Amino acid sequence: MSFDASLIGRFLKGDKRACARIISIVEDRRPGYEEYIEAIQPHVGSAYVVGITGPPGVGKSTLINKLAAGFLESNANIAVIAVDPSSPFTGGAVLGDRIRIGEIGLNPKFYFRSLSSRGSLGGLSEAAVDVIRVMDAFKKEIILVETVGTGQNEVDVMRACDTTVVVTMPGTGDDIQAQKAGILEIGNIFVINKADRDGVERTLRELQTMLMMNPLNDKYETPIILTRSNTGDGIKEVKTAVERHRDYLESSGWLSIKRSERNVRAFKNLINSKIIDEINLIISHHHGYDDIETQVKNGGLSPHRASIQLMEYINKKILCR
Partner 1 sequence: MSEKIKVLIAKPGLDGHDRGAKVVARAFRDAGFEVIYTGLRQTPEQIVNAAIEEDVDAIGVSILSGAHNHCFSEIMQLLKHNSIEDIMVFGGGIIPDDDVTYLKSIGVAEIFGPGTPTADTVDFVKTNVRKGNE
Q: Does 91 sit near partner 1 (CB under 8 A)?
A: yes
Tell me, residue by residue from 30 to 59, as one string, x for binding to partner 1 by CB under 8 A and - for no binding: x-----------------------------
Of 193, 12, 94, 60, nearest to 68 (Cα)? 60
Q: Does 163 sit near partner 1 (CB under 8 A)?
A: no
Q: How far is the CB of 89 from partner 1 (least distance, A)?
A: 9
* Dihedral (CA of 181, 182, 184, 186) sign: positive
What's the N-to-C CA distance of the chain in angstroms?
28
Measured from the CB atom, the residue of 178 and 275 that comes closer to partner 1 is: 275
Measured from the CB atom, the residue of 29 and 262 that comes closer to partner 1 is: 29
Q: Residues 6 or more apart from 259 whose CB is under 8 A from it?
A: 162
Measured from the CB atom, the residue of 30 and 305 that comes closer to partner 1 is: 30
Q: Is 102 exposed, middle or buried (0-12, 13-18, 19+ CB in 10 A)?
A: exposed
Q: How far is the CB of 48 from partner 1 (least distance, A)?
A: 21
Measured from the CB atom, the residue of 57 and 91 that comes closer to partner 1 is: 91
Region binding partner 1 by CB under 8 A among candidate stretches 28-36, 156-164, 205-213, 294-302: 28-36
Measured from the CB atom, the residue of 20 and 211 that comes closer to partner 1 is: 20
Written as one string, the DSSP assignment of 206-266 is HHHHHHHTSPP-SS----EEE-BTTTTBTHHHHHHHHHHHHHHHHHHTHHHHHHHHHHHHH
Region binding partner 1 by CB under 8 A among candidate stretches 86-94, 161-169, 210-218, 258-266: 86-94
Contact assessment for residue 82 and residue 114, using Cβ atoms and an 8 Å cutoff: yes
Count CB neighbours of 250 within 10 A: 13
Region binding partner 1 by CB under 8 A among candidate stretches 95-103, 144-152, 158-166, 305-313: 95-103
7, 8, 11, 27: which one binds partner 1 (CB under 8 A):
27
As a whole number of angstroms, the distance between CA 51 and CA 153 comes to 13
Region binding partner 1 by CB under 8 A among candidate stretches 22-30, 49-57, 161-169, 295-303: 22-30
As a whole number of angstroms, the distance between CA 33 and CA 77 comes to 25
Q: How far is the CB of 115 from partner 1 (least distance, A)?
A: 9
Encode 16-67 in three state secondary structure: HHHHHHHHHHHHHCCCCHHHHHHHHHHHCCCCEEEEEEECCCCCHHHHHHHH
Determine the Cα angle at 117 with ends 111 and 123, to 5°.
105
Region binding partner 1 by CB under 8 A among candidate stretches 43-51, 85-93, 153-161, 202-210: 85-93
# residues near partner 1 by CB under 8 A: 33
Tell me which residues in 97-126 interact with partner 1 (CB under 8 A).
98-100, 105-106, 111-114, 116, 118, 120, 123
Applying CB under 8 A, which residues contact partner 1? 16-17, 20-21, 23-24, 27-30, 86-87, 90-96, 98-100, 105-106, 111-114, 116, 118, 120, 123, 127
